[in-house]
Amino acid sequence: MTSTSTTRDSTGSSNPEFVNARVRSRRAALFDDEDYRKLVRMGPGGIARFMEESEYEAEINALASRHDGVDLIEYALNRNLAKHFDDLLRWSEGDLNEQIAKYLRRYDAWNVKTAIRGVYSGSSPEEIRDDLILAGELDDAVLDRIVEADSIEAIVEALEATMFGEPLEGSYDQFESQNVLVPLENAVDRAFYSELLADVDTAGHSEGPLALYEEFLVAEIDFLNARNALRVARSGAEIDPEDYVIEGGELFSADELRGVGSDPDQLVELLRDSEYGEELSAPLDQLREADSLIEFEHALDAALLEYTDHLSNVYPVSITAVMSYVLAKTREVENIRAIARGKEVGLDQQQIEEELVIL
């Protein structure tokens, strides 16, 4: 997937009705919660056979002669995800194509953070590469450099000419002094959302599809800020919330995030009393019942998915339906990957289920 896919047609026209009809068909083929419950009872071979009987058939068949077990599942998932997102760009035209391409740069952010986490934890280049999602715009040469980097500083240098370069350079000293990844990961997210919101901020739309597009992005940022507040609180690092809040959100002030960091129940109440509360009653109950940070983060992910699904139904011819599908498809891939990896390392069914984002 390259930036050439983002070229606007000469008229700037879009085709949301056509694209969203295709997306609805793809959305209907996603695995549901019952499918995940079946998968957690299978070994890697059974998972691969289950995938072969689903819309992953082409990828499993194409890769089965070279890979097996968890490797086969991993490569099939990554190839299938890239295919689906390439289809979104192939189907779309004009402004819609450009908006989708910009949104899919989230996987550039994903890949940069994956490389940073991998180097930080001592993972091999092969392990890092397996976790990449090849659906963004960073070219192969840059991805190779960050995967093969022997230090986080080398990753920062490799990304100097990208939109992540300056933010990462600005946060590197804080990373070195605190030895936590939050400043770097936050810099990556800030770069992505700053780029994504640049056009929206100046549009001045108060209703219609563009207003809903902005509402979708604001919700993502609000939930990301909540997650970051929790991570910083658990890390023990001396970082002020104002230093890592992603601009563009509306729900949290720095003072509120300080409170969230010390009391997760306060986060639940902030969400319940917010514009998200009406649509998120059940997910917010799951948030309150979460016993660990990872469970809390998964419940946050489920709440965001629930809310973005709601937005995609409010104005079905807007890009929000596409964005909601992107999140849902990514959730499917991450869930299947978590099940396969859990089986590989011998986790029991309950432990694996705790790694899943299930609505």
How confident is the model over 278-301, as pLDDT tens digits? 766 776 777 677 666 677 778 778
262 vs 150, more confident: 150
What digits encode the pLDDT tens for the residues 10-52?
Answer: 335 788 889 999 999 999 999 999 999 999 999 999 999 999 9
Q: What is the C-alpha to C-alpha distance for residues 11 and 66, in angstroms, rounded to an integer? A: 45
- Region 303-328 average pLDDT: 84
Q: Which residue has the tokens 């599942």?
A: 73
pLDDT at 290: 66
8 vs 67, more confident: 67
Q: What is the mean pLDDT of the chain?
A: 85
Could you tell me which residues come within 8 angstroms of residue 293 by beta carbon, excluding any fewer than 6 positions away? 230, 231, 234
Residue 265: in which H helix or E strand, if any?
helix 264-272
What digits encode the pLDDT tens for the residues 237-271?
Answer: 666 666 778 888 887 776 776 666 556 677 777 77
Residue 202 has pLDDT above 50, yes or no: no
358 vs 72, more confident: 72
pLDDT above 70 covers a percentage of the chain that reads 85
What digits encode the pLDDT tens for the residues 105-129?
Answer: 999 999 999 999 999 999 999 999 9
Q: What is the C-alpha to C-alpha distance for residues 141 and 144, in angstroms, rounded to an integer? A: 5
pLDDT at 261: 59
Give me the half-sphere count of Cα atoms (radius 13 Å) on the Cβ side of residue 5. 23
Residue 315 has pLDDT above 60, yes or no: yes
Q: What is the C-alpha to C-alpha distance for residues 302 and 57, in angstroms, rounded to an integer? A: 27
Q: How many CB atoms lie within 10 A of CB 198?
A: 10
Could you tell me which residues come within 8 angstroms of residue 313 by beta carbon, excluding any fewer than 6 positions away? none
- Region 144-152 average pLDDT: 97
Pair of tokens at residue 171: 């946060």
- Region 331-357 average pLDDT: 93
pLDDT at 11: 38
- Region 152-174 average pLDDT: 96
